[in-house]
A and B are shown apart, each in its own frame.
Chain A
Amino acid sequence: MKEERRGSKRIRVLVNILGPFLGLLLVILIFSLLPQVQDRFLRLGNFKSVATQSVIVALGALGMTFVIISGGIDLSVASNIALSSCVIAFAINAGLPPWLGLLAGILTGGLIGLINGALITSLRLVPFIVTLGMLGIARGVAKWMAGNQKIDAPITWVNELMARSPQPSWLLMAPGVWLMILLAVVMVVVLRFMVFGRHVFAIGSNEATARLCGIRTKRTKIIIYSLAGLFCGLSGVMEFSRLTVGDPTVAVGLELDIIASVVIGGGSLNGGQGSILGSMIGVFIMAFLRNGCTMMGWPNYIQEIIIGFIIVVAVSLDQIRYRREA
């Protein structure tokens, strides 16, 4: 009896992930069937380049998943990515060793996240407002630092992180892609099998209950936003690696792509729901759509309209399922 129940439970968990996953397969299937792009789309090389293109959004989405599950939002991620990419360019350009520049970039992201978290918890402001403010501040600081232009930096091994054909060749994919996969697996473990992850879900589900159960909600939230910031820092490093320059105007509006990925993957803006795997699938749904549409030669606005539809459809499907369960 018990086994049977657990079995059906497992199926439901599977369905929860399967929803977005089927969506992803559908997107791939559609483009695979379109005769105009079929042969180019289905190539391994194309899949590799989609994976490489996804790294920046995916890293941001890993952190965002935690923020959204905890019932928050971080609008400053894209500005944070731009700022971090400028910091690493600035550091390397100033003659610091690349690894130090890389560290500086990541820590800048973490610092922005820390400030977000500290403001949210100490001033008791809603995350939307604090991070909206930070969206402007971080972008502004990035432009200021870069003197309103791009920051050039000498080519180093950092630029290999996002190389489409990496050295050595047995790597098959860019080191950044491997790093993304590794971090995603680590975050799955953190979210599902570590106490911290339970606390994130508890805060998102009901903060008052979490507090009453002795969870240090403020501290946990500061950690959540700092973590999201660190991921942005890393994402900024990848952005720099890809562009080979620090560009303060990069990734404008990317926060919406990142939030959309998490939401398409089953994250609820009310908190308490979401998964790393779902968010990653969300990232790839959008990446393949962009890739396919570009191959079809469809203009940008078509992509935007399609992605807009997907967001609404994905979330309403999710809602319907949720209501049926409840």
Chain B
Amino acid sequence: MGQIQKAPLLLMEDISKHFGATCALDSVDFDLERGEVHALLGENGAGKSTLIKILSGAVRPDTGTMHLEGSRYSPSSPLESRRTGISVIYQELNLAPHLSVEDNIMLGREWNTRGFLRRRKMREKVKEALSLVHHAEISLDIPVRQLSMAARQIVEIARALLEKAKILVMDEPTSSLSGEDSQRLFEIIKRLKSQDVGIIYISHFLEEVQQVADRFTVLRDGKKVGTGKMEETSLDRVIQMMVGGEVRQMFPRVEHQAGKLYLEATKLKGKKMSAEVDLDLRRGEILGVAGLVGSGRTEFLRTIFGLDALESGFVKIGPEKEVLSGDIRQRIKKGLGFLSEDRQGEGVALSLSISDNLTLSYFSPYVRFGFLRVKQQRQAGWDWIERLRIKAQGPKQPVLSLSGGNQQKVALARLLHQKADVFLLDEPTRGIDIVSKSQIYEWMGELAADGKAILFVSSYFPELLGVCDRIAVFHRGQLVEVRPAAEWNDESLLSAATTGRTSEVPT
């Protein structure tokens, strides 16, 4: 008995996996203790997801062994791994949107007598699970699609707990959460730790990882680069390990100067906005827009671009202060460019090729008498692949097969290609790797230096502080305040975004 207790919760040794000619994992070791949060870090394509897939039985390793609580573990299917106590919560949550909270939590494990559900028993159990994560207030009967992303995540965690999970794998759990909700999630993680659950935590947000993880392991190109205690290691060191010296600076500064007033929103209120917003933007300026998810910042951008209907107010653009009107096509001609926060759902058309995605908003250079000049269009694809260093085989490759960072580059290239003057960027760096992030920051600087005007929405305060000239904060649909970036810091941004009040300007 004592011996079993001493064995680590999970031990993965010498795990290798090849997919065809590419080596996804090369003799990787990984271990996890009870009540520990172990961060798994690395760029996209470093092998994190392959390792998790092996752990969850979705993929079988070529070599290597796994031990769970000291006994040999080799799952043949995700179902088996779930039964053994390993729960994976994926970035895209695995919930049935039309079913109720209760039905979702019990899905696949409904208690029944000869096929008839034992509702009362199940309800008790579900309530118990929700109170374990201290969220008993979530109603059992509302359909999951009506819940916020944060609440959905809690439902997933409750489901995992009900399965008596010993190991919980969280894949980018905070990427769709606001700062406040993330903090709540960290509270839950603490409670899980005290219940001896081992947690494997995957995230691109290193500040968060620092806050929540006890240990970390960095993978790069399928190899384990290092492992260590979180508190003993600086973030710079971790980044160094992840990128192998590719990124010298996270936020490269490109000198730029704010010029003339270019975009002016006056008492702007879209159908989906809850308050009027006044905001102006200059040429050569990067204006950050901070706020929690649902604070109205996305709706503000979409209203300017014409994706959401206007209710009152107006936007003036350009030196002639022309009032923006008309449909999206006309606004694109006026020089507006919009990057969606929902990359796969809206930002890019996955099954279309790179060159189609690139030129979709601005076809006219490739059209003569209604006919497409395919060669020129393809050439444009090659040009932008080279200019933005997009990792792709060629312009005819479907965007589907690119990594997240490279998909985002294609979406961004579209705005550059359509010769936008005003860039409305909604979460441009969400869920992409550090190298791509840093490149995107650099381009934003270059665009500003080139006299473009940039609105940059983000939930991630460090990047706003790192690249913006001014930052505006939204709270519950209201614009709280706009200040030069130098006069904000992490705490003041957080407090303005969560409470709607601004602290005194530090002097």
Contacts and interface: CB of A to CB of B under 8 A. Distances in A.
B349 A206 contact: yes
Given A195-B372, A213-B360, A214-B361, A205 B352 contact: yes
Given A205-B350, A212-B307, A272-B349, A198 B360 contact: yes
B410 to A, nearest CB: 11
7 contacts: A2-B382, A2-B394, A195-B370, A209-B347, A212-B346, A214-B328, A325-B398
Interface in A65-103: none
A315 B244 CA distance: 45
Contacts of B347: 209, 212
B307 A198 contact: no
A192 B331 CA distance: 27
Contacts of B382: 2
B371 interface: yes
Nearest to B361: A213
A193 interface: yes
A320 interface: no
Contact of A5 (B307, B342, B393): B393
Contacts of A9: 394, 396
B90 interface: no
B352 A326 contact: no
Contacts of A209: 346-349, 357, 360
A6 interface: yes
B329 A214 contact: yes
Contacts of B371: 189, 193-194
Question: Chain A interface secondary structure, helix, strand, loop or mixed?
Answer: helix
B348 A206 contact: yes
Given A9-B396, A193-B374, A194-B371, A202 B327 contact: no
A206 to B, nearest CB: 4
A9 B363 CA distance: 23
Interface in B359-405: 360-361, 363, 367, 370-372, 374, 382, 393-394, 396, 398, 400-401
Nearest to A322: B351
Contacts of A212: 307, 328, 338, 340, 346-347, 361
B15 interface: no
Interface string A201-225: 1100110111111111000000000
Nearest to A208: B346
A213 B350 contact: no
B349 A6 contact: no
B401 A211 contact: no
A210 B414 CA distance: 12
A208 B357 CA distance: 13
Contact of B351 (A198, A211, A273): A273
Contacts of A214: 327-329, 331-332, 361
Given A202-B352, A208-B345, A213 B414 contact: yes
A216 B360 CA distance: 12
Contacts of A211: 307, 328
Given A198-B356, A202-B349, A208-B342, 15 more contacts: A2-B382, A193-B372, A194-B370, A195-B363, A195-B372, A201-B352, A206-B346, A206-B351, A208-B340, A212-B338, A212-B347, A215-B329, A215-B360, A216-B327, A216-B329
A201 B396 CA distance: 14
Contacts of A210: 349, 360
A209 B363 CA distance: 15
Across the A-B interface, the 4 shortest Cβ-Cβ residue pairs: A214-B329, A213-B361, A205-B349, A206-B349
Interface residues of B, number: 35
Interface string A1-30: 010011001000000000000000000000
B329 A326 contact: no
Interface string B320-349: 000000011101100000101010011111
Nearest to B397: A9
Counting chain B CB atoms within 10 Å of each CB, the highest count among A6, A197, A213, A215 belongs to: A213
A273 B400 CA distance: 14
A212 B414 CA distance: 11
B425 to A, nearest CB: 13
Contacts of A216: 327, 329
Given A193-B374, A195-B370, A213-B414, A205 B351 contact: yes
A197 B370 CA distance: 10
A213 B327 CA distance: 11
A149 B494 CA distance: 76
A195 B332 CA distance: 17
Nearest to A13: B396
B350 A195 contact: no
Contacts of B307: 211-212
Nearest to A5: B394
Contacts of A273: 351
B445 to A, nearest CB: 25
Contacts of B356: 198, 201-202
Contacts of A198: 356, 360, 363, 372
Nearest to A204: B351
A70 B484 CA distance: 46
Contacts of B401: 325-326
B351 A272 contact: yes
Contacts of B363: 195, 198
Contacts of A6: 394
A211 B347 CA distance: 10
A29 B351 CA distance: 34
A326 B402 CA distance: 10
Nearest to B307: A212
B403 to A, nearest CB: 13
B349 A194 contact: no
B55 to A, nearest CB: 23
Nearest to B360: A213
Contacts of B346: 206, 208-209, 212
